[in-house]
Amino acid sequence: MDIFLQQLANGLTIGSMFALVALGYTMVYGVMRLINFAHGDMVAASAFVGLTIYTHVTGQATSLAAVVAIFLLSAVVMAVLGVVLERVAYRPLREAPRLSAVVSALGASLVIQNGIMLIWGPRMRIFPELVPQVYWDFGGVVISLIQVIILVLSLVLMIALYLFVEKTRIGAAIRASSIDQDAARLMGINVNSIIALIFIIGSSLGAVGGLFIGLYYRGITFNMGWQYGLYAFVAAIIGGIGNIPGAMLGGMLLGLFNAFIAGYVSSTWADAFTFILLIVILIIRPTGILGERVAEKV
């Protein structure tokens, strides 16, 4: 039972990080029908940007204000990068064959990943200890302050995003663009701005996710984007890609699944089990748990 509760806590923590990153994938896919392969590398880049801001801008301070500044600045930097990415690599290909955009996304991913390597070096870097090491022991189940912060902050961000998309006029424009871009344009929605906005939101949520990964795992490498990006993408698909609550649900489910595999089987099999889960879900329910079945357009 101890293992179960411990892995439940760990799973929720990992799951909320997956969910934050998965939101970036799912929002872009929802509007552009494109797997933004570069998103995982953006997440990795944000951890490195956070590291640099910590050493050079906030002067290695760990006060609350400094930590908030690191999060905000990283989110801004990644949001700008996200918009640049969309302008350079995706916008020229919006009318091009689907696979061209996929390859362009892969190219962007290689550029960002290797850009990180060229700037920060190929070796693992240690992310600063921004949050004090506080642990609570509930009869054998250990929960750290970091885990609580990650879980609470992710939930707050996700609820805020959900309300933004469901309750505001701009949110309605986002939903309209993801249903039908041309019709949205006819209704006077500036789809280009909506896409830019989606990249801003997705990249800044990914930036927060990347900083969480740094805080939680401590070791950050230039190529970790593939790993976390792929997991987050799987989470988005499990939940039903293009569906915002689906990405949250998928992220949490995948986090829990991973934690239980690590707790009861072995972490060396985590990748294999994750993808077997994905394949099984896609065979049973090809559009994910919350995805709607869309008829193929002729």
What letter would DSSP give residue 91? G
Q: Is 101 in the site for another protein (CB under 8 A)?
A: yes
Task: Note whether 298 binds another protein by CB under 8 A.
Answer: yes
Minimum distance from residue 187 beta carbon to another protein (Å): 24
- Structure tokens given for 211: 């900083």
CB 258 within 8 Å of CB 270: yes
What are the residue ranges of helices labelled H in the chain? 2-32, 38-52, 64-85, 98-120, 145-167, 169-179, 181-186, 191-217, 224-239, 244-264, 270-284
According to the binding rule CB under 8 A, does residue 286 interact with another protein?
yes
Q: At how many degrees (to 10) do helices 270-284 and 224-239 cross?
A: 30
Element (H, E) at 125: strand 125-126
Is residue 96 near another protein by the rule CB under 8 A? yes
Q: Is 264 in the site for another protein (CB under 8 A)?
A: no
The single residue among 69, 111, 141, 172 that binds another protein, judged by CB under 8 A, is: 111
Task: Give the interface size with another protein as a residue count (CB under 8 A).
Answer: 49
CA distance 173 to 211: 30
Tell me which of 104, 147, 154, 243 binds another protein, using CB under 8 A: 104
Closest CA to 201 of 76, 45, 95, 19: 76
Q: Which is nearer to another protein, 54 or 231 (CB)?
A: 231
Stretch that binds another protein, among 45-53, 66-74, 147-155, 230-238 (CB under 8 A): 230-238
Q: Give the one residue of 59, 97, 139, 188 binding another protein; rule: CB under 8 A.
A: 97
Residues that bind another protein (CB under 8 A): 29, 33, 35, 88-89, 92-93, 95-104, 106-115, 117-118, 122, 226, 230, 233-234, 237, 241, 268-269, 271-272, 275-276, 278-279, 282-283, 286, 296, 298
